[in-house]
Structure 1
Amino acid sequence: MVKLQGEFVWHTHPETDELFMVVSGQLTIQLRDRDVVLNPNDLFVVPRGVEHCPKAEGEVQAILFEPQGTLNTGDAGGDRTAELCELS
């Protein structure tokens, strides 16, 4: 479960798909050739290796489905990379 607001970083996940499911708010998944706009209960799968950049004008709550150990910034790295932790 994540909260998003503003524009994230352009990145890819070379080894895995990434599924976004919006719980509240409106999320735009920017792709190099188009934008995908998601509203509550919408979902979208970004295929492995596809460069993307999530963007939210207001606060968005979403669920991301991806394999354990997947970095949120993918191949981009940087100061917005979240530390991986296990839920208990």
Structure 2
Amino acid sequence: MLNDYEVKLAKLKGGFVWHTHEAPDELILVISGRLTIQLRDGDVVLDPGELFVVPRGLEHRTLADEETAILLLEPTGTLNTGDEGGPMTKAAEILS
């Protein structure tokens, strides 16, 4: 944790659910692989070392054709599926 933010590392492959985070912005940095962030009006494609900030309230989903490692920076307690919920929701874990 950094101040009131969580720094999360994740490995992705495949597509995720469309979702929105109403309150927080979400910073996504690609460590390895290639990540597509799908937005309703177009895609953002990121290679290693590139980042994108998904503004609060913007519906999006991630897509990785190959295993992709990312770093996420978002406020503590932010659900990975935002307002969508469902079986892919990961409960917040606080490490001390």
**Pairwise same-fold verdict (TM > 0.5):** yes
Of the candidates 68, 80, 84, which is equivalent to residue 76 of structure 2?
A: 68
1:54 alignment partner, one of 38, 58, 62: 62
Distance 2:26 2:11 in 1: 16
State the TM-score, normalized to the length of structure 2.
Answer: 0.90
Q: Which amino acid aligns with 1:4?
A: L
Does structure 1 residue 27 correspond to structure 2 residue 17?
no
Percent identity between the aligned chains? 60
- Please report how far the alpha carbon of residue 83 of structure 1 lies from its aligned counterpart in structure 2 after TM superposition: 1.5
What CA distance in whole angstroms lies between the structure 1 residues aligned with 2:26 and 2:71? Answer: 10
| 2:26 partner amino acid | E
Query: Within 2, Cα distance between the matches of 1:4 and 1:66?
Result: 17
Give 3-state SS (helix, strand or coil) of 1:84's partner.
Answer: coil
Unaligned runs of 5+ in 2: 1-8
Superposition deviation, residue 87 in structure 1: 2.0
TM-score, normalising length: structure 1: 0.98
Matched, 1:8 2:19: no
Alpha-carbon RMSD: 0.6
* Secondary structure at 2:75 match in 1: coil
Unaligned runs of 5+ in 1: none
- Stretches of 4+ aligned residues off by more than 6 angstroms: none
